[in-house]
Amino acid sequence: MKKILITGSNGLLGQKLVELLTHTTDIQVIATARGENRLPSKEGYEYFSMDITNNSEVQSVIAQVKPEVIIHTAAMTNVDMCETAKDDCWKQNVNAVEYLVEASEKNNCFLVHVSTDFIFDGTDGPYTEEAEANPISFYGWSKYAAEKIVTHSNIRWGIARTVLVYGIAHDMSRTNIILWVKKSLEEGKNIKVVTDQWRTPTLAEDLAKGCYLIADQEAEGIFNISGKDFLTPYEMAIMTADYFKLDKSLIAQADSTTFSQPAKRPPRTGFDLTKSQLVLGYEPVSFNEGIGFLAGQINAGVK
């Protein structure tokens, strides 16, 4: 029986991991998040309140639980907010990782750390695991600093880098490109979507699966865990409209200069998945299958 502790269990990825791992045999799941447990099901796992920015709380919970593996999903991921609230961003994305590394070292835990394509400048994606990082936003810098803490530590670790995660979470107002396009077109709204950014959008369930594969195998090193289709947001919007048979003429092409955002976005990221496929056996769904997956959840009333 392997004991796995998840940080950020109230978040989108955290929820998907709890769901996946509680249905996986031989795993004891410990869910942690700041404040109370907001997951709809309370079955199949233990819950501890743990604020990752509070070092004494992190040390005490992990010493008490003594997990074999920690999957660290909690982070401040709002890229524009990170640009304007730099101290908060650093506490959540960097200091918290220092605390988790310290706890992992003391308790001999394998740490799976979730990172991002935003550590790259986006000049020549899709990227392999060996590509040179060069962040262009504060969020990107914070996540790159966190990676450095992990890679220079004395613990055993695996890093799961991901791209543009989409999915449906319980009790969260957080939207994603598929839901936004669907809702806008159903309401007859005209929308502008960028054509000059490229990503490999990732279904949250696939990211959870990738994190589990790293945790299960205690696979050391960096792994790209994303979707496999290299698309612009405009192409994603068109595919969404096609899937739900909505009016594509409401979708206008735009470039990123149309939108003023505090943080710069890397234009062309996306990942090469060869290593994850060969080493971990990771196989994500296509973007079209991902839309279908969300459609099924919407019909089933997953909120």
pLDDT score at 277: 98
Q: 4-34, pLDDT tens digit by residue?
A: 999 999 999 999 999 999 999 999 999 999 9
Question: Residue 253's beta-bridge partner residues?
Answer: 193
Is residue 295 a part of any domain in this protein?
no
**Averaged confidence pLDDT in the chain:** 96
Question: From residue 67, how far is each of 1, 7, 103, 146 by CA, in Å?
Answer: 11, 12, 10, 21
Burial 67-93 (b: 16+ CB within 10 A, else e): bbbbbbbbbbbebebbbeeeeebbbbb
Q: 207-217, pLDDT tens digit by residue?
A: 999 999 999 99
pLDDT score at 187: 98
Q: Mean pLDDT over residues 257-279, rounded? A: 95
- Write the CATH number for 150: 3.40.50.720
Is residue 180 a part of any domain in this protein?
no
Is residue 176 a part of any domain in this protein?
no
Residue pair 218/300 in contact (Cβ under 8 Å)? The answer is no
CA-closest candidate to residue 30, choices 56, 60, 77, 68: 68
Is residue 251 a part of any domain in this protein?
no
Q: How many CB atoms lie within 10 A of CB 270?
A: 26
Is residue 226 a part of any domain in this protein?
yes
Is residue 48 a part of any domain in this protein?
yes
Q: Mean pLDDT over residues 136-165, rounded? A: 98
Among the residue ranges 88-92, 149-153, 261-265, the one predicted with the least confidence is 261-265
How many domains are there within the chain?
1
Domain that holds residue 143: 2-169+200-230+270-286
pLDDT score at 172: 67
Is residue 214 a part of any domain in this protein?
yes
Classify residue 202 by burial, with Cβ atoms within 10 Å: 0-12, 13-18, 19+: buried
Q: Which residues contact 300 (CB under 8 A, 6 or more apart)?
A: none
pLDDT score at 302: 60
Q: 154-183, pLDDT tens digit by residue?
A: 999 999 999 999 999 987 677 899 999 999
Is residue 182 a part of any domain in this protein?
no
